[in-house]
Structure 1
């Protein structure tokens, strides 16, 4: 904040839409509010030089979330953010394990979520809300509590905070079990911020739209990049309003995860399917042209000429739909389909795919804005000061100032994950051309068939999702005779297909049993199987009527598959495949 205030103070450092109007917070306002906010925390004993007080946040993205974060940093408190979609049992675990003495919640719904378990949390002293709720303390009480004495204490504590002080405890989303509290210091996160700034097209003239959960270190670290580079942060109203907010805010950059990018692409393709005649032909000609785009290889004059025409007639409309000002899109958390990387890059909206984990603050490698430092199908070169080794079994090991100091209250897990300073990521990968890191699978997600052959599910799943009719897929086959899959259809596209075939589109349960529908998916499976060897090929599949969601427990908050949960939930369907 002080850095931004001294170099490029802004009138819209942070912004949120309230009642149809964007409310702005200037750099000076943020500096003043967070300083007084920190003083208010100290007046309640929620802070201090010993770095012992933990404060939790349970809220979607909004300016108050970041204001709380910045206030905690100045008061010496440690922030423990929590996903708003967390289950009651996991919420109780995180609040108890972290020892949070105060929690900030967004609204009445989150407030009741905490109140239901408060009797089980003797250490929890205070609950504050961001929305004004009857019978609850509002966060604005805290800045109002500041006194000259507490403001002086804030100055002293801030000056005494070192790079090795604990900044945050972030509980992993728990794809395989109980959440683990990852401890990150100021040094861990700041090293990542300073390393990533040169790789992104960020400047004080730019705006960013924020919608990935701030509870995840990816969006939070990137937010610090924005603050340091002077980029204004506009918070999307909700996941449902992202398209509208993009057109309003006209950001130069935003971060996303591949699943959301796939949904954007699916909506664009659905619009294309509605076109007729020459417009439809032009649309799909441009898409096919984009699929052929390549980086760092000479493009023929004829291709470049066609691409210029496609950009003018087709891709310009895509850019306009995303605000018309996008310089790049940054994606992480899971593998992005290479065809999307090619098409969006050809359309003038390069996607910078990166890789990292909560434990690495998070970035280990990222494709740069400069084309010479990008390669499709990889997560890019390593960032500054990071070392990577590929273990004999293919696992990626990482060492650097970004690596966590360990798991909170779990020295046993810390010892398992970090050996001689090397963090074991659990991911399998390789270095392409000795420079570009390529992730091939999760070590824990690879499985062995009963024939003793290893199968890596992610490449298969990513390829199959290129089908417009496959929304979600999970490859199965551990200790079984062959590889199979559970498939959730894209019911919107499937409905259009049924209509064209003269089939009545009833309930999802009915549709997936239609013989022509099953044949349609068999053709898709046969088409994509040809890209894989015999062992990896999907021999049988089951169509499922219900999409997997975070609320349903099948996905993590960053939209990764919870394989164990899905396997348990659909155990009968899996048994039917192999019976």
Structure 2
């Protein structure tokens, strides 16, 4: 097989010439970019790279927000036979220099002139880097080349060279070195070939209905392999239009403007949508609230019967159909009115949230994978859907569960190894299977369920194994809880750091005449702690005692990328958070009394003292 990603994309240009390929917000409006302009700009970038003497196998980094410039740089790099090394555009200088040094990138496509200025002061720590190509703005330094200077007009010799490079590309050539997000340690560069990506794209295109009629809103970082494969390469292959959001905070506005039919995100977005809808419902007048909840109950009842393969009573069909239509209409309005389905990955999705959207006729297809698997291993689809699982393995991928519960995977999407880390590569691919580091199970129908990260499992002082993610996901379904991190390794019981949903909590405080000036005042107020204590107790109903949190602390701010506590895809860096909040966590274990503690945390009495 001699196919490469750039050749795959070029083959689509002729098929979908009349359809817009990208949509970018400019001067307050979305502008369509057709295939002719797309390919022309891509080749101008490629000529620029060749003019800088880029060689096959060279590494070129991209550090930019999602947008056309990212795609043009990426395809130009790979078409030259070089290797794309994506960085998060929010990375700090120290992280960027570390990755530049590790990858030995020769060139860097960089969006921000400010970031360029900061990097220039430390370029001695990345000696292989010869030039920064500035995608936006100007900077007066000979080591920085502005985009307009970099781009090259049509040139017979450069075009001939690029066509030769395109034709010479092999499926097993390295396409990209993608650094893992570093939730459990220092990032490692996963080496992904064209074959890896293409096998994943081919497998997924047989499972998902995507065509030139579709528009996908792109806002997850393209430096993350999930968005890169599903929201970029996959969309180009199928001729769909990619509309770029202006940023994560602009997604609600851009949804109404771009009117996508497909949305790809992490569970946090869907949890927020669900919480917002339920908050509006529960704060609405009694008749509206009663109607919505009855409608949701009917639609969920029918859904659960269908998922279980049981007959739906004749009386329920028309009622549930009308209920679904009502729910569907209510949800579609803020989403632009055309959304057909969501895709979710990167973290576990609450079963309640999945069932809610499915009952409303907008399914969330949850999948599972890792950077090292290009990325999809398994996925729910319209033909095989089971909320609470991540679906069945995709075609060509084999999955089995090791004796200790770890998920092992094999197939054409498995990476070549970690860049210049042979020992870690050997450990990850031991026995011919990729060791995911995740714990899971496969049910009788072949659906895979994820329990937790192997490294995140908590072993309490009594020897009980606890998967914190499942508890955190349950806690985050509450309207007053935006984020949660469960602790308790080698401790006598579980504790949690809880981040309130401040919008809802502030409304509640004002309604109940709770005095506060700051969020610090709010999270330490006895009435607020008592409210959360009752809600946590209710959320834990039915859980075994060793899986219940006994004490929690409300934090006055959320975990953030800026503080290094979460990755750019919103996954918690547990070790960082636990180390940073160690005094708070330790304090919860030292106190002996019950109820609201004057140190600012709450002791949850699932069996209150008499």
TM-score normalised over the length of structure 1? 0.96
Alignment of 1:5 onto 2:16: no
- Structure 1 residues 19 and 550: CA distance shift in structure 2, 3 A: same
Q: CA deviation at 1:33?
A: 2.1
Q: Deviations over 1:439-476 (max 9, x none)?
A: 11110000211112211111111111111111111111
Mean Cα deviation higher: 108-117 or 259-268: 108-117
Q: Deviations over 1:179-201 (max 9, x none)?
A: 10000000001000000012112
Residue 513 of structure 1 corresponds to: 524
Q: CA deviation at 1:434?
A: 4.1
Task: Give the one of 377, 380, 392 matched to 1:367.
Answer: 380
Q: Deviations over 1:320-349 (max 9, x none)?
A: 211111111000000001111111111111
1:301 and 1:96 map into 2 onto residues whose CA distance is 66
2:474 and 2:254 map into 1 onto residues whose CA distance is 31
Task: Give the one of 483, 487, 503 matched to 2:494.
Answer: 483
Q: Deviations over 1:292-314 (max 9, x none)?
A: 43243333344433333334444
Map residues 271-310 of structure 1 onto 2, 5 A cutoff. Answer: 271-289=280-298, 291-292=300-301, 293-294=303-304, 295-296=306-307, 297=309, 298-310=311-323
- Structure 1 residues 243 and 393: CA distance shift in structure 2, 3 A: same
Contact kept, 8 Å, 2:325 with 2:360, in 1: the verdict is no
Task: Give the one of 26, 33, 44 matched to 1:18.
Answer: 26
Residue 239 of structure 1 corresponds to: 248
Task: Give the one of 437, 451, 467 matched to 1:440.
Answer: 451
Q: CA deviation at 1:205?
A: 1.3
Alignment of 1:528 onto 2:535: no
Alignment of 1:404 onto 2:423: no
1:494 and 1:303 map into 2 onto residues whose CA distance is 38
Task: Give the one of 335, 338, 341 matched to 1:325.
Answer: 338
Contact kept, 8 Å, 1:483 with 1:538, in 2: the verdict is yes
Report the 3-state secondary structure (helix = DSSP H, G, I; strand = E; otherwise coil) of the residue aligned with 1:199. coil
Residue 574 of structure 1 corresponds to: 585
Alignment of 1:63 onto 2:68: yes
Contact kept, 8 Å, 1:290 with 1:342, in 2: the verdict is no
Q: CA deviation at 1:155?
A: 1.0
1:377 and 1:71 map into 2 onto residues whose CA distance is 40
Q: CA deviation at 1:412?
A: 1.3
Q: Deviations over 1:152-175 (max 9, x none)?
A: 111111111111000000011101
Q: CA-atom RMSD, angstroms?
A: 1.7
Contact kept, 8 Å, 1:211 with 1:239, in 2: the verdict is yes
TM-score normalised over the length of structure 2? 0.91
Report the 3-state secondary structure (helix = DSSP H, G, I; strand = E; otherwise coil) of the residue aligned with 2:482. strand
| Number of residues of Structure 1 aligned to a counterpart in Structure 2 | 574
Residue 199 of structure 1 corresponds to: 207
Residue 268 of structure 1 corresponds to: 277
Mean Cα deviation higher: 3-12 or 479-488: 3-12
Q: CA deviation at 1:134?
A: 4.2
Residue 171 of structure 1 corresponds to: 179
Report the 3-state secondary structure (helix = DSSP H, G, I; strand = E; otherwise coil) of the residue aligned with 2:392. coil
1:506 and 1:419 map into 2 onto residues whose CA distance is 56
Q: CA deviation at 1:18?
A: 1.1
Contact kept, 8 Å, 2:487 with 2:495, in 1: the verdict is yes
Alignment of 1:229 onto 2:229: no
Map residues 447-466 of structure 1 onto 2, 5 A cutoff. Answer: 447-466=458-477
Report the 3-state secondary structure (helix = DSSP H, G, I; strand = E; otherwise coil) of the residue aligned with 2:546. coil
Residue 250 of structure 1 corresponds to: 259
1:309 and 1:247 map into 2 onto residues whose CA distance is 25
2:524 and 2:114 map into 1 onto residues whose CA distance is 39
- Structure 1 residues 287 and 111: CA distance shift in structure 2, 3 A: farther
Contact kept, 8 Å, 1:105 with 1:111, in 2: the verdict is yes
Q: CA deviation at 1:272?
A: 2.9
Residue 95 of structure 1 corresponds to: 100
Contact kept, 8 Å, 2:344 with 2:365, in 1: the verdict is yes
Report the 3-state secondary structure (helix = DSSP H, G, I; strand = E; otherwise coil) of the residue aligned with 1:450. coil
Q: Deviations over 1:75-127 (max 9, x none)?
A: 11101000112232211110110111111112323323433432322211111
1:549 and 1:502 map into 2 onto residues whose CA distance is 30
1:277 and 1:484 map into 2 onto residues whose CA distance is 36
Residue 45 of structure 1 corresponds to: 53
1:108 and 1:10 map into 2 onto residues whose CA distance is 36
1:364 and 1:16 map into 2 onto residues whose CA distance is 31
2:99 and 2:346 map into 1 onto residues whose CA distance is 22
Report the 3-state secondary structure (helix = DSSP H, G, I; strand = E; otherwise coil) of the residue aligned with 1:559. coil
Q: CA deviation at 1:132?
A: 2.8
1:433 and 1:412 map into 2 onto residues whose CA distance is 36
Contact kept, 8 Å, 1:41 with 1:47, in 2: the verdict is no
Contact kept, 8 Å, 1:43 with 1:146, in 2: the verdict is no
Unaligned regions of 5+ residues in structure 1, if any?
none
Residue 224 of structure 2 corresponds to: 216
Alignment of 1:316 onto 2:316: no
1:123 and 1:441 map into 2 onto residues whose CA distance is 39
- Structure 1 residues 494 and 289: CA distance shift in structure 2, 3 A: farther
2:334 and 2:18 map into 1 onto residues whose CA distance is 27
Report the 3-state secondary structure (helix = DSSP H, G, I; strand = E; otherwise coil) of the residue aligned with 2:484. strand
